[in-house]
Amino acid sequence: MCADLWSFALSTYARAGAEDACLRLQEQGADVCLLLCGLWLEQRGVAPEPARVLALREIADPWQADVVQPLRMVRTQWRAMAQQDVELGALRERVKALELEAERQLLLRLEALAKGWPTGERATDQTWLEGLVTEAANLDHDALHQLRAAATGT
């Protein structure tokens, strides 16, 4: 088990099926950083209390909307043009690196918030993923299962 959230996220993303699952969930509006944080918290035995879910969302939602999404939008808009324009392609790669750094910063913020929460708590009926995707009822549940399997190494 990875001690810090960033290492956990990198390790999980590198596992078979995780990248595809993350991209599918992201396309459907899910905050993949939040989902990875939830899986990390599950592995640490942190109970998914509603106040904790809300606290994570209060950090993640504005950061996604104001920082990550604008970078992702520019990177996506430039995709086709960058294939024909070498200089634009290089700029797009820099935007992509900024987007990744913005996601890393979000994960660091989420970890800092959750660091003081007790670990090894008794399991509840609800999982972190269920608590974090409640308003996105149309999410690809196969992709959620695939992401969970990658996180747990099964």
Q: Is 30 left (phi over 0), alpha (psi -120 to 50) or beta?
A: beta
Side chain identity, residue 61: D
In terms of Cα–Cα distance, which of 151, 105, 108, 106 is closest to 128? 151
State the Cα torsion 80-83-86-87 to the nearest 10°: 20
Residues 6+ away with beta carbon under 8 Å from 8: 1, 2, 36, 39, 40, 43, 151
Residue 91 has a pLDDT of 97
Q: How many CA atoms lie within 13 A of 60 on its CB side?
A: 23
Residue 62 has a pLDDT of 97
Residue 137 has a pLDDT of 53
50-60: pLDDT as tens digits: 999 999 999 99
13-32: pLDDT as tens digits: 999 999 999 999 988 889 99
How crowded is residue 126: how many other Cβ atoms within 10 Å of its Cβ?
14
Residue 29 has a pLDDT of 86
Residue 36 has a pLDDT of 96
pTM, two decimal places:
0.90
* Mean predicted lDDT score pLDDT of the chain: 91
User: What kind and span of H or E run contains 76?
Assistant: helix 69-77
Cα 10-135-97 angle, rounded to 5 deg:
30
105-154: pLDDT as tens digits: 999 999 999 999 999 887 666 688 888 876 555 677 888 889 989 988 86
Residue 83 has a pLDDT of 95
Distance CA 6, CA 40 (A): 10
Residue 139 has a pLDDT of 74
